[in-house]
Amino acid sequence: MDLPALIVTARDAGASDLHLEAGLPPSARIRGRLQPMGAPLAARELLEAARDVVGEDRWPGFLERRSADVARNLGGVRCRVNALCTARGVGLAIRFLPTTQATLERLNLRSDLARLVEPHHGLVIVSGPTGSGKSSTLAALVQEVNLREARHIVTLESPIEYTLTPRQSFIRQREVGRDTPSFEQGLYDAMREDPDVLVVGELRDAETMRLTLSAAETGHLVLTTVHSSSTGEALQRIVGAFPAEIQAGIATQLADCLVGVVCQRLRFFPERNLRAPECEILMGSQPVKAMVRQGQFFKIPTALETGAADGCWTFTRYREWLERRTDWYLPSPEPAAREPVAREPEHGERAEPPRTPAGAPGRAPRRPVTTEPRDGVLEIPSSDEDLARILDELERRGE
């Protein structure tokens, strides 16, 4: 089995994920639906591929835990790979990662989400079901800080999905299992590393949640993700992860540091042939904080409906905005070939915006129409020309 070639084929077909299981054909998730690709896979071939992807150094840990998460570049495609044991043997769940830096514009998110990273302390939560693009949104928010301010950003991820290029900020990325043994240890270490912004890849257990809340309360801006289907459920899951006798205190702590919660799900737009996040946005206004402090999460939907002035959005209102939207970012089919390669600015150096060529904004420099006719034929260069200039030239020749 040629795993890199299979990944390239699935990526070129527009897949976001690829699932490999012994005895079954590969299945690619295209536009949200699974589609089989090719013949069933042999168990031995899949085992060898999994061992090669996980690596010999981490293979003993995989045999002990029966699963492993790694980020790899396979066939020129950056992937997040989850290797796992199943009833049929070893399986692989592969998520394709974009090669470009994630930004709010490229993800077709609202630009006012940048408000979430303007504070210098507090907690920002990105939530949603599995495969809804939470990591991409988190990376886009970090990139907003990176492009605007000189802050020290420390990330704790499992695994690292987006490799961030420092612009204005100083960035340290640490991978759980490789650079630190756990999220808990990484959070303890981060408190001694002078961070301004702390990114916690996922809140998985009560201890990680406790340390994350403490970091948000002690003068750091903390960004993290939670699995949930709504903003209210995300907050309730954090409080509910603790014993009943301390949940009131946790709710108070959460309310005091809350900046905002984004819950998203991906929606396919057939007319543009792309999927974009559909969001529910809850800002940490005073009424919202009062609800969280009192544990009244059932009132969150009302706060979303009445909090438009504070920047809150319900799924319904956000969907209506998407349907009216006209300024979509449409990814190029060959981004690597189309994007110019520029020198990476040093730390603290402001990146220069791309220079606009002479002529009309966003238009290539004009090349004059050929003035010498050849056999009465007007030669027009292959580049775009101003229609008025061509008509003027035709009239001048009397044609």
Q: Which residue carries 């009244």 as its tokens?
A: 296
Task: Please name which of 343, 357, 399 lies closest in space to residue 375, comparing C-alpha atoms.
Answer: 399
Whether the CB-CB separation of 198 and 215 falls below 8 Å is answered with yes
From residue 360, alpha-carbon distances to 155, 204, 365, 370 in Å are: 42, 52, 8, 20
In a domain, 385, yes or no: yes
User: Are both 379 and 266 inside the same structural domain?
Assistant: no
Q: Strand 122-128 vs strand 221-227: parallel, antiparallel, or unpaired? A: parallel
3-class SS of residue 272: coil
Q: Is residue 341 part of a domain?
A: no
Per-residue 3-state assignment (H helix, E strand, C coil) for 181-246 = CCHHHHHHHHCCCCCCEEEECCCCCHHHHHHHHHHHHCCCEEEEEEECCCHHHHHHHHHHCCCHHH
In a domain, residue 51? The reply is yes
The answer to the question of residue 240 being in a domain is yes
Q: Which of 63, 96, 129 is the last residue of a domain?
A: 96
DSSP 76-130: TEEEEEEEEEETTEEEEEEEE--SSPP-TTTTT--GGGGGGGSSSSEEEEEEEST
Burial of residue 385 (CB within 10 Å: 0-12, 13-18, 19+) is: middle
Task: Count structural domains, the chain.
Answer: 3
Asked if the structure places residue 336 within a domain, the reply is: no
Same domain, 35 and 179: no
pLDDT value of position 349: 43
SS3 28: strand
pLDDT at 272: 85
Domain-embedded: residue 398: no
Same domain, 198 and 257: yes
Spatial separation of the C-alpha atoms in residues 105 and 200, rounded to whole Å: 23
Here the CATH number for the domain that contains residue 201 is 3.40.50.300
CA 299 vs CA 98, 127, 250, 294, 341: distances in Å: 37, 18, 18, 11, 50
Boundary residue ending a domain (96, 125, 148): 96
List residues bridging with 96 in a β-sheet: 79
Identify the pLDDT of residue 270: 86
Domain span including residue 313: 111-324
- Is residue 42 located within the same domain as residue 122? no
Q: Is 300 strand, coil or helix? A: helix
Q: Is 264 helix (H, G, I), strand (E, B) or coil?
A: strand
The verdict on 242 and 117 lying in the same domain is yes
Assess if residue 354 is contained within a domain.
no
19/59 same-domain check: yes
Q: What pLDDT is attached to residue 226?
A: 96
Residue 28 lies in a domain: yes
Residues 115, 84 within the same domain: no
Domain identity same for 130 and 14: no
Are residues 153 and 302 both part of a single domain? yes
The CATH number for 81's domain is 3.30.450.90
The crossing angle, in degrees rounded to 10, of helices 231-240 and 247-257 is 140
Predicted confidence at residue 66, as pLDDT, reads: 92
Last residue of a domain, one of 324, 349, 371: 324
Q: Give pLDDT < 50 ranges for the chain.
A: 334-378, 380-385, 399
pLDDT tens across 267-308, in order?
Answer: 988 888 888 999 999 999 999 999 999 999 999 999 999 999
Nearest to 16 by CA among 30, 2, 36, 27: 30
Q: Are residues 295 and 379 in the same domain?
A: no
CA distances to 16, 155, 174, 211, 355 from 189, in Å? 34, 12, 11, 11, 42
Per-residue pLDDT at 81: 93
Give yes or no: residues 119 and 214 share one domain: yes
Same domain, 151 and 244: yes
pLDDT at 336: 40
Question: Which pLDDT does position 333 carry in this prediction?
Answer: 54
